[in-house]
Chains A and B, each alone.
Chain A
Amino acid sequence: MSLKRIDMARRLSLLALIGPNVVFIALFCAVPLGVLFSYSFFQVDFVAIIRDPTWDNYVRVLQNGTYMGLILKALLYGIGIAAICATIAYPLAFFIAKRVRVYKAALLTLLLIPLYTGDLIRIFAWRVVLGAEGVLNSFLLWLGIIKEPIWVLLFSPFATTVVLTYNYIPFMVLPLWAALEAMDDSYLEAAMDLGCRQLSVFFKVVLPLTGAGLVAGFLMVFVLVVGDYLTPQLIGGSSGVTVTSAIHDMFGAAFDWPTGSALAWLLLTAMALFITAVTWLFYKSPWGRGIRGAK
């Protein structure tokens, strides 16, 4: 075969590989999101959607303190839980990457298994643990450590924080582990030989060298927490009102698809802006040197 024909064949095979994927995702994910976007400009009249474009929905949502507060709360929860996950995950990932030899694969798989059992079972398990008549309270009562069940264990921001951290910690451990695995140990040795103390080794050597993994994990956990709809609802009690549950209400009982769509698209925009800002800042920062390929 001539080189030209081989080149042609490669191009065709590439087209055959990406074509169906692009069509599939564009048609069934991008187009539905576009349809949702179009709804955000419509109006609703009792039970009918009036397809007469207007900015009113956005104006109304932007002027509504409750909705804007819910978006802010979602973003803050995302940042907060991602930070907690990072704090818990760093030592763990460090240990698995640098100390564990034989059981490395087993430990990583073991970490992922709860993830594959699904949101529902994990939430169910935590309700069993944290409920007022649940395992933890009854255990403490039985031991005589407490006299009354601790009510705030379940249906509180505390419970939501615990379960969200629990849910998404694997998404932080894995990229951190991968980054630490790729990090050359001799940098650490050198830093310590030069008299750097352990804590400053972490901040001056480990953190900058694993920055990409940290940002990847942080953004994944952020996205998943902001988008989590079940956990706050089933665990958070009265504190469980989130922007996603508000959107859900507007598509359910309230039958206000246009306002719901506007709120959904504002949330998507806020998330996209945050992700872009973090990525850009990281790219420009000294930590992003590795990615930029600069010396």
Chain B
Amino acid sequence: MRFNGWAALRGYTFLVYAFVYLPIMLMGLFSLNSSDLIAFPLTGFTLDWYDQILHDSRIFTGLLTTMSVAFPVTLITTVFGSMAALALTRHKFKGKFAFLALLVLPFFVPKLIFAIAQVTFLNDIGVGKGLYTVWISQALIILPFVTVIIASVLFRVDKKLEEAAGDLGATPWQTFRLVTLPLMKNGILAGSFISFVLSNAEYTVSFFTSGRAQPLSVLVASDFRFHLSPSLNALAMLIVFFNILVVVISEWLRRRGVQPE
């Protein structure tokens, strides 16, 4: 396109990305620095902080709790998100807008108010907090994201393929199982990966709805409120690298699902 500011725009884009990645890069740098203080000048290279975190039993217990939340949440959101995405992209119905509004309701309610509503609700029906209360509340918050990801794949799957299956005598169930499901498979995988990552990262809602067993994010939060230690840098970097890995795989899957081979 005819426009003579591309070079400036390229530089600008680079600056924004630097702004986005600078904090994470610096965290990585200082997770390898030998000093106790997170400050310049750098004092020397060490892997002690990583060693410390990997041998911290409290962190390990937190990680186990995080995992025992993340897997059920991923399962719930992937099943419900797939169903919602199918309804939104493959059906015309009255009240579609209302259904969409209900789906994104947990996104529009501030997390703190959502969490407090959960607490008063549990209090009223007399149910104690536990892992399952975290499952449900996290699943509600993550569901809109998963639905959008799966729907974004379904939108681009050619509907004629499904119509052809129907014309050739397949029942709706056969059409779904043999045509739609294989075509949306990558979207489902991508959605489930993102769900897993979002569940790991979630703090506010987990803090309010978790009982005695506290996920890693809640443990870390109480640590860094008072004391910034380079070992927290190391832990954060491990989480960041893990997330990058999962997100990249999921994006790769999603885009492979969109572009026909």
Question: Contact flags (1/0) for A172-189 with B, using CB distance below 8 Å?
Answer: 000000000000010011
CB A226 to nearest CB in B, in angstroms, measures 6
- A25 and B116 within 8 A (CB): no
A204 contacts the other chain (CB 8 A): no
Q: Which residues of chain A are near B12, meaning CB under 8 Å?
A: 91-92, 95
Q: Which residues of chain B are near A251, meaning CB under 8 Å?
A: 116, 119
Contact-size category for A? 35 or more
CB B117 to nearest CB in A, in angstroms, measures 4
Partner of B6, one of A16, A17, A99, A261: A99
CB A48 to nearest CB in B, in angstroms, measures 13
Question: Contact flags (1/0) for A66-108 with B, using CB distance below 8 Å?
Answer: 0000000000000000000000100110111011000001010
Q: Which residues of chain A are near B107, meaning CB under 8 Å?
A: 223
CA distance A37 to B106 in the complex (A): 16
Partner of B201, one of A36, A120, A185: A120
Partner of A1, one of B41, B171, B236: B171
- B120 and A35 within 8 A (CB): yes
Q: Which residue of B lies closest to A201 (CB)?
A: B3
B16 contacts the other chain (CB 8 A): yes
- A17 and B16 within 8 A (CB): no
- A18 and B84 within 8 A (CB): yes
Q: Which residues of chain B are near A238, meaning CB under 8 Å?
A: none
Q: Which residues of chain A are near B108, meaning CB under 8 Å?
A: 223, 271, 275
Q: Which residues of chain A are near B244, meaning CB under 8 Å?
A: 113
A31 contacts the other chain (CB 8 A): yes
CB A233 to nearest CB in B, in angstroms, measures 9
Partner of A128, one of B38, B119, B217: B38
Contact-size category for B? 35 or more
- B201 and A264 within 8 A (CB): no
CB B42 to nearest CB in A, in angstroms, measures 10
Q: Which residues of chain A are near B19, meaning CB under 8 Å?
A: 166
Interface of A is mostly: helix
CA distance A129 to B17 in the complex (A): 16
- B23 and A120 within 8 A (CB): no
B239 contacts the other chain (CB 8 A): yes
Question: Contact flags (1/0) for B213-251 with A, using CB distance below 8 Å?
Answer: 000010011001100100011001001100110111001
Q: Which residues of chain A are near B17, meaning CB under 8 Å?
A: 107, 110-111
CA distance A39 to B140 in the complex (A): 22
Whether A14 contacts B110 in the complex (CB less than 8 A), given A122-B23, A129-B26, comes out as no
- A127 and B120 within 8 A (CB): no
**19 pairs across A/B with beta carbons < 8 Å?**
A13-B172, A18-B99, A28-B136, A29-B105, A91-B12, A91-B13, A94-B9, A99-B1, A112-B247, A116-B194, A118-B217, A124-B228, A124-B232, A124-B236, A129-B23, A138-B41, A189-B1, A268-B109, A268-B110
4 nearest A-B residue pairs (beta carbon): A118-B201, A227-B110, A125-B23, A138-B39
Residues of chain A at the chain B interface (Cβ within 8 Å): 1, 6, 9-10, 13-14, 16-18, 20-22, 24-26, 28-33, 35-36, 39, 88, 91-92, 94-96, 98-99, 105, 107, 109-114, 116-122, 124-129, 131, 133-135, 137-139, 141-142, 166, 169, 185, 188-189, 192, 198, 223, 226-230, 234, 244, 247-248, 251, 257, 260-261, 264, 267-268, 271, 275
Given contacts A88-B16, A247-B112, 14 further A-B contacts (CB under 8 A): A98-B1, A105-B251, A112-B247, A120-B203, A127-B224, A128-B26, A133-B39, A134-B38, A139-B40, A189-B2, A228-B110, A264-B116, A267-B113, A268-B110
